[in-house]
Structure 1
Amino acid sequence: MGKFKRLGWGFLALVGVLAVIIGSFTYHLKPDYDGEKSLQGLSKEVQIYYDNYGIPHIYAENDADAFKALGYVHAQDRLWQMELLRRIGKGGLSEVFGKDLLGTDKFFIALGIDDYSSKTITNLNPSDAAVQLSQAYLDGVNEFVKEGPTPVEFYLTGIEKKPFELKDVYNTLGYMAFSFAMAHKTDPLLSKIKDKLGFEYLKDLAVHSDTTTLWIKNYPNTKNDSIRKSISEVMSSLEKLSIPLFEGSNGWAIAPEKTKNGKVIFANDPHIGYSQPSVWYEAHVSTPNYEKYGYHLAGVPYPILGHNRKLAYGMTMFENDDVDFYYEKKHPTDPRKYKDGDGWKDYEVISKTIKVKDSDDVQFSYKKTHRGPILNGIADQITGERPISMWWIFTKVENKLLNSLYSMSHAKGLDDFEQALEDLHAPGLGIVYGDADDNVAWWAAAKLYEIPDSVNTKFVYEEGKGLPVEKEYLDFSKNPHAINPPWHYVYSANNQPDSISGMLYPGYYLPENRGRRIEELLEGKDDWDKEAVGDMITDNTSPVNVEIVSQLLKKVNVEGLNDSDLQILDNLKVWKGDYPTESTAATVYHRWMYFILQNTFKDELGETLFEEILNTHFIKRTIAPIVGNEASIWWDNISTPETVESQFDIVTTSFKEAVEALEDQLGNDTAQWIWGRVHTLEHGHPIGQVEALKSFFNVGPFPINGTREVINNTYFPYTEGGFNKVSSGPSTRRVIDFSDVENSMSILPTGQSGNPFSTHYKDQAEMYVNGEFRKMMLNKEEILSKSKSQLTLKPMNGKE
């Protein structure tokens, strides 16, 4: 017995020692929100006050010290996220995650982001303020890389911390530009459908602009007139790593004439792929010359969303077409050459080395034409013998993105803010603006170019046809915009914009659904306040879906339906198109819609193309029009040549299949078919893919309200299994009332910190799901009185 006692005490002692070691290890990995630290290169002491949600309020005596401090605190909360984002554009994920990411790395290398960033760096003027403050920010990041604790993800993946450089900032912005571009998903797919089925099958898809839907209206400034499959696989690999992809957004600004307190109210909620940590890092930076409460991408010094007491700005996606694909003609005998005009030209061959975790380096070569990289053979991206090249505006013009972000964040008012947007060449952004001087504005910020009506940009261009490589660029004044319009508000919801100069701008615009709801709500009220706008930004109602259901109900053959089926249809008749978690009509509608899409398109497209088309913007735009088109060629099931199916057949069959699927999935009690059981949100972390670590790194899952293409746009892909796992949605919700700017409000999807040992790793997650907000503090006295943590950064030599 004594022997066993000794063994028991020995075991407990060992457990105790391990607990102390683990506790000590995790304690030292936590971010430091208190105390004093010395930073090399600081000229003056910097005070950082953390609020109750871990958001730093940085007070410095000069801009360089402020941005150095910003870099340091950003890195201690988000270094792992910074590391991942800088690797994507240069093709460096295989070094972290192994050979499964080789295809993704090859694709991004071929896009040329890293080479473009290198070229940009060589042309920078080191004396530019934008460059100098960026370097100050990076110095702060690198101080943490050098002196701070190593995040646990670096231990788990076995990679070393390395200093950050200016090229990393540009590579991160390049990845952002890529993730906005829908042409990568769409153009090769549409060409495949055209080649397989013919133009007749394309005319009923919402490929082009629809003049019957709601467009964003323009209004000039009256104050101042001065691939197919593998590309989807690339996107899928990034989604599996929980790397945020940019999807869509809402933004609006309400002029004083429509607000209760007679001042502008601004709102914005960019829709981005959910991830852990979430995409934005909030920071309030204040110096004698500069103040901004901003939202930063990992590793990018200037906020992409921001506000102060004078103005507020945010972004949506413009969704313009800035990518072109070309078929290249091969030389009949020399594989090194391709057709260029009337002659032949040598391919440019580019060779790269890719580092791969737990494996030898991989040597990789690809070919380029004067239009861009050849996609064939790059991780099996394009099938078939015909070479396809890709022209992407992002790498074709001078990169002034960093200067533009600097100028936006330092703008004093409407005119210089507008001027800053002229250098945003790609990705195309819808920038929404409001200020304390009663201005509201919206601009489509992108480098647009002439596109003749005779050119269809949605297909791979045949050899010798399509747009020339040398584009005829439009002046920024020709971009869609609205400044202080007489209807007293502006908005952007990724829907089709109207034209300034009489020509439409081809793009991959989202359906009118959110735009219609935004206009409906804004038009119907002239006494908006902050609370009402907060309710609006979490609105879950779709008037378009109600109209779709109304049409579908007329086309159901009720013969053979039982009482339960008829009750389900009766419930849909009175459905308001809303999406609370307790709704059963919402569950039935989306299950029904999945089977309608499957039974309409899958027989012609096959499994692979059907799965691809479900992930495009144009299928979202197609749903309402095709439901209203009884004569569409798509309704016939080509798998049954002996019969010709009608829309009535497909709608009725799909309803029956939806009910049967829901019974199998959720049981026979229809009262239990609530939306929250199938519509859930989990914020995934790259390390959370490992099942044993999932509960530690991931946040959620939570049942969540909202749906696709409502203002509270919680997007999910349609799947056969029927579990609508949300993949993207509002990356923040911000409401800024210039009558009470000190009490503006916001929320993040999980928390401010990306460090799982931080108390701010997920402290906003349940608030976000519940549609709640927290305060964005600007007042220094209030910040000091409510701050529970203070970090002081001192010059390394201890002198001021």
Structure 2
Amino acid sequence: MAGLFRWLLRLFTAAIILAALAGTTAYYLAARSLPDYDDTLAIAGLEAPIEIVRDNANVPHIFAASDTDVFFGLGFAHAQDRLWQMTMLRRTAQGRLSELFGARTLKIDELIRRLDIYGLAQSSVKAQDPYTTAALEAYAAGVNAWIARVNSDARGRGAPEFFLFTPEVALWQPADSLAIAKLMGVRLATHLETEVLRARVSLLLGDEARVRDLLPDAPGPGLAALPDYAALAPGVAPSAAPLTRAELGPLSPFVPRAFASASNAFAAAPSRSAAGGTLLANDPHLGFSAPSIWYLARLELASGGVIGATIPGMPAVMAGRSARLGWGMTSSYMDDQDVFLEQLNPENPEEYRTPNGFRPFESRRIIIRVADGAPETITLRWTENGPVLPGDHFGLGSITPPGHVTALGWTLLNGADTSMSAALKLMRAQNVDDALEAGRFFIAPSQNLVVVDHDTIAMQTIGAMPRRLAGHQSEGRLPVPGWKDENRWQGWLNYAANPRFLAPESGILGNTNNKTVERPFPLHVSFDWGDTQRIQRWKRLMETREVHTRESFIEAQLDTVSFTARALLPLIGRDLWFTGEPAPLGSPERRRQRALELLAEWNGDMNEHLPEPLIYAAWLRRLQDRLIRDDLGPLANEFTHVEPLFIERVFRDIDGASAWCDIRQSGAVESCTEIARRSLDEALLWLSETYGGSLESLRWGAAHQAWHDHPVLGEVPFLKWFVNIRQPTSGGDNTLNRGLTKGGDPFPFANVHGAGFRGVYDFADPDSSVFVISTGQSGHPLSRHYDDLGELWRRGEYIPMSLDPDLARAAAVGVTRLVPEAP
């Protein structure tokens, strides 16, 4: 027995030693890819020295003798910190994820290939102006210089992730940067899925007024009736079945419409600024990830210093400032997509109908390589209206008549896209007029560009606007027959047609993805806008002060008061407040009464430390589901977030919308008050089962944690604890400090989409401007800069945005000097 014990002890000790050795080896190999920021490197082909000064937040300040060398330095710095992220973005845009991840990403690759994202990027390289071409080439050379250094010095393959997947990293090309720019446009798209959903709801309900309840146009004059989709697409049967769509997974750039895009940007003229200089605040909203999609950098160009938010893989500051100009962007929600129903030739399915008869598809076959599986061969088909998409994407099959396929018209699908040239022109602009002129060359995705110089503020919608005919059958809101002339795009409208707001008399302008103009179709810009709620709170905050300061703009950017909660709670609870008979402790009636008491005294602040936001969010979620489930069936699952305008229409009984409160399948006629009470009881039961304890002990932040997850390793056991960043946060779906919730079970209120970058610029004292990103600069989990800015971001704090090189050097974490290699 003693001998057996000794052997077991020896085996256990050996196992511990082996595990320690394996852990030490893994740590050593992973740590090898951490860059040394304080180094001098000789680079072959470099003509003059480049200096990369990293301040104490690890923001690189890049100095060189020429602009091309500055872009070389940016490519080098991006690759040092985000090489894995950059290669993943490139693989996604190329449709080559399945070479690493196998069949689970095959549908993503297939859809990207059908859109020909990378092919169109390659074609667009030659469309750039000479300055941009030189910048793209220099940037690619900088990325490749770091890849060469990794290979020559055995620096851990450049990132820990490469130890788990193929270590092969192809050299960077100018087309790669343009492809990533297009990929960002894919993430911002909304109108395709909205068209399909509107068609499904229209077929199912058969009542245009009820469709308008659930998918309303933004408030304001000019509401037009929708056409009957059954007439546009005869042969499509109404169905309450769930939308049939390909499962794309967490690596997909194709996100549901609720998560497509958002942002805030607002500005004040000197007349509305306490210090007499213009002010600008911007916080673009995208899905959270670790690391963030944003990367801070400063470029010292011949036209002057530029500092702000870049996207690894692209040589441009997308939002930031120079000494003379500040700029920010929000998604404009321009209707830049149309779904076309293409009729097949009954005699030859390789042909489709056009206004001039049947003609063959433009077709080619491609092969997608799949790790640990057989290659997949697919046939790509294009019509005159755009690429043909299979029915299992976006639920297209559910609205496509027999004998038809669907094609997508989209301004992004352009092989002469000069958007990158526009971005680089914007960086070098010296005033508002220059910036607005730079926007002329921007194609897609459409944005609202907010710019300020020392004297003037302006907002311009940039991006190509499709030229639709006035007789378009659905005005772009539903799929339409693609062979009819009246439905086809006639090119693009002139840039002058895009909305512009220059030096308004009020001295204040801004956008929260809200409706910007009321113009008749086809100059309408869009019928579907991204916000009707945050704009109300922003308007109030702007109007309550005669003059603003940097601090008041920061306060507005971080505001967590929900206008939606303030507006809806009095409506849905008006017959419930302080009513009912006294109820014993512990009873459902007493718990409901206590919840109503808490909500009655609440000011709508979605503060992470309060219970009321969680009670409110759970109630509204259950309420909307109860209102629509009996009418839509499983299709109700498509409405994962509360639609405030819908709830308001129902409880104000606008155009008979209170009909939604009656449950179709029951014999009784239910009132809206009854449905509101049942929904509250159901929400309270869910809260009790999920969190337990008293209502007062609930905390919004416990449910509303920000999920900054690693897109690849975030679901891997053990590793996920090292690579994912989770933080309790304030805010919600409809607050200025937006924290869009996940929507689906089992974590419906997880914060998964919001302001990954925040910047506030004060041109009365430009170096007092501030910014922050949601994680850290490094994409390496072992780096102290992986999440160091994340806690500042969570607390609503910022770091300085200075163009003073002495300040950058004063507390630098390192200075990298790139020098020409000796002959």
Q: Give the match's secondary structure for 1:519.
A: helix
What are the residue-to-residue correspondences of 1:535-614 with 2, within 5 Å? Answer: 535-556=555-576, 558-559=579-580, 562-607=589-634, 609-614=635-640
Equivalent residue in structure 1 for 2:419, among 401, 404, 408: 401
Q: What SS class does the counterpart of residue 90 from structure 2 fall into?
A: helix
**Which whole-Å CA distance do the structure 2 matches of 1:212 and 1:629 have between them?**
19
Residue identity (%): 25
DSSP-derived class of the 1:358 partner: coil
Aligned equivalents of 1:230, 1:649: Cα separation in 2: 34
2:115 corresponds in structure 1 to 111
Q: Residue type matched to 1:629 in 2?
A: D
2:39 corresponds to 1:35 = yes
Name the amino acid aligned to 2:593. L
User: Structure 1 residues 18, 473: CA separation in 2 closer, same or farther (over 3 Å shift)?
Assistant: closer
1:144 aligned partner: 146
Q: What amino acid does structure 1 have at the position aligned with 2:55?
A: D
Alignment of 1:378-777 (within 5 A): 382-384=396-398, 385=402, 386-396=404-414, 398-436=416-454, 438-451=455-468, 452=470, 455-462=474-481, 464-465=483-484, 467-471=486-490, 473-499=492-518, 503-556=523-576, 558-559=579-580, 562-607=589-634, 609-614=635-640, 619=643, 621-629=645-653, 631-632=656-657, 635-637=660-662, 639-685=664-710, 686-700=712-726, 702-721=727-746, 723-777=748-802
CA distance in 2, matches of 1:357, 1:776: 45
Provide closer, same or farther for how the CA distance between residues 19 and 254 of structure 1 changes in structure 2, counting only shifts above 3 A: same
Per the TM alignment, residue 738 of structure 1 is displaced from its structure 2 partner at its CA by 1.0
TM-aligned CA deviation for residue 373 of structure 1: 2.1
1:466/1:536 Cα in 2 relative to 1: closer, same or farther (>3 Å)? Answer: farther
Q: Which amino acid is 1:756 matched to?
A: P
- Following superposition, the deviation at residue 500 of structure 1 comes to 7.0
Structure 1 residue 527, shift from structure 2 partner: 3.1
Q: CA deviation at 1:235?
A: 7.2
Q: 1:239: Cα distance to partner?
A: 7.3
Q: Which amino acid aligns with 1:160?
A: E
Please give the root-mean-square deviation of Cα atoms over the aligned residues, in Å: 2.9
In structure 2, list runs of 5 or more residues that go unmatched.
Answer: 224-240, 582-587
Structural mapping, 1:213-252, within 5 Å:
229=243, 233-234=247-248, 238=252, 246-252=260-266
Q: Separation in 2 of the partners of 1:662 and 1:413? A: 53
1:23 CA displacement: 4.6
Counterpart-to-counterpart distance in 2, 1:521 and 1:559: 38
Give the direction of change, closer, same or farther, for the CA distance of 1:366–1:699 in structure 2 (3 Å limit).
Answer: same
Are the structure 2 counterparts of residues 588 and 379 from structure 1 closer, same or farther at C-alpha, using a change threshold of 3 Å?
Answer: closer
- Closer, same or farther: CA 380–765 of 1 in aligned 2, 3 Å: closer
3-state DSSP of counterpart to 1:760? coil
Cα displacement string for residues 408-453 of structure 1 (whole angstroms, at most 9, x for unaligned residues): 11111111111110111211101111122x2111111121244427
Shift of 1:250: 0.1
Q: Give, in angstroms, the shift of residue 656 of structure 1.
A: 1.4
1:67 Cα offset (Å): 1.0
Amino acid at match of 2:544: G
Give the match for residue 207 of structure 1: 216
* 2:144 alignment partner, SS class: helix
Residue-by-residue CA offset, 1:737-794 (whole Å, 9 max, x unaligned): 1112112111110101111122100011111111111112321122222223111111
Checking the alignment, whether the CA contact within 8 Å between 1:181 and 1:321 is kept in structure 2 is no
User: In the alignment, which residue of structure 2 is the partner of 1:273?
Assistant: 287
Cα offset for 1:599?
Answer: 0.7
Name which of structure 1's ranges 454-463 and 785-794 shifts more when overlaid on structure 2: 454-463
Q: Secondary structure of the equivalent of 1:106?
A: helix
| CA displacement at 1:474 relative to structure 2 | 2.4
Q: Which residue of 1 aligns with 2:179?
A: 171
Could you give the per-residue CA deviations for residues 139-171 of structure 1, whole angstroms, max 9, x where no partner exists? 000111222232111221235111111111121
Q: CA separation of 1:348/1:228 partners in 2, compared to 1, >3 Å: closer, same or farther?
A: farther
Q: Secondary structure at the match of 1:286?
A: strand
Cα offset for 1:236?
5.7
Q: What letter matches 1:144 in structure 2?
A: W
SS of equivalent residue, structure 1 residue 306: strand
**Equivalent position of 1:198 in the other structure:** 206
User: How far did residue 41 of structure 1 move?
Assistant: 2.3
Q: Is the 8 Å Cα contact of residues 760 and 771 (structure 2) preserved in structure 1?
A: yes
Q: Distance in 2 between matches of 1:259 and 1:676?
A: 34
Q: Return the TM-score normalized by structure 1.
A: 0.91
Give the deviation of 1:12 after TM superposition.
8.0
- Residues of 1 paired with 2:551 and 2:776: CA distance? 22
Does residue 57 of structure 1 match 2:61?
yes
Q: AA paired with 2:463?
A: A
Alignment deviations for residues 581-612 of structure 1 (CA, whole Å, 9 cap, x no partner): 122221111111111111111222222x2222
Q: Secondary structure at the match of 1:158?
A: coil
Secondary structure of 1:764's counterpart equals helix
Count of aligned positions? 778
Per the alignment, residue 238 of structure 2 pairs with none
The Cα shift of 1:637 comes to 4.9
Hey, what does 1:224 align to over in structure 2? none
Report the secondary structure of 1:202's partner residue: helix
* Distance (Å, rounded) in 1 between the aligned partners of 2:30 and 2:359: 59
SS state of the match for residue 452, structure 2? strand
User: How far 1:625 moved relative to its partner?
Assistant: 3.2
Give the equivalent residue in structure 1 for 2:368.
Answer: 354
| DSSP 3-state at the match of 2:607 | coil
Distance between the aligned counterparts of 1:734 and 1:68, measured in 2?
25
Q: Is the contact between residue 187 and residue 260 of structure 2 (CA under 8 Å) also seen in structure 1?
A: yes
The correspondence of residues 84-103 of structure 1 with structure 2, limited to 5 A, is 84-103=88-107
User: Which amino acid in 2 is paired with 1:447?
Assistant: A
Residue 627 of structure 1: how far off its partner (Å)? 3.6
Match of 1:221 in 2: none
Change (3 A) 1:20 1:677: closer
Change (3 A) 1:718 1:287: closer
- Supply the AA of the counterpart residue of 2:636: F
What is residue 354 of structure 2 aligned with on the other side? 340
| Distance change (3 Å), C-alpha of 1:623 and 1:732 | farther
**Cα contact 2:772–2:793 (8 A) shared by 1:** yes
Offset of residue 10 of structure 1: 7.5
The whole-number CA distance in structure 2 between the counterparts of 1:22 and 1:654 is 52
Q: Indicate conservation of the 8 Å contact 2:193/2:394, yes or no.
A: no
Which structure 1 residue ranges, 5 or more long, are not aligned?
215-226
Go from structure 1 to structure 2 and tell me whether the alpha carbon gap of 1:453 and 1:482 turns closer, same or farther (over 3 Å shift): farther
Alpha-carbon distance, 1:320 to partner: 1.1
The correspondence for 2:805, drawn from 738, 756, 780, is 780
Alignment TM-score, normalising by the size of structure 2:
0.89
> Is the alpha carbon distance of 1:517 and 1:141 closer, same or farther for their aligned partners in structure 2, counting shifts above 3 Å?
same
**What residue is the counterpart of 1:282 in the other structure?**
296
More divergent stretch after superposition (368-377 vs 752-761): 368-377
1:222 corresponding residue in structure 2: none
With 779-788 and 732-741 compared, the bigger mean Cα shift is at: 779-788
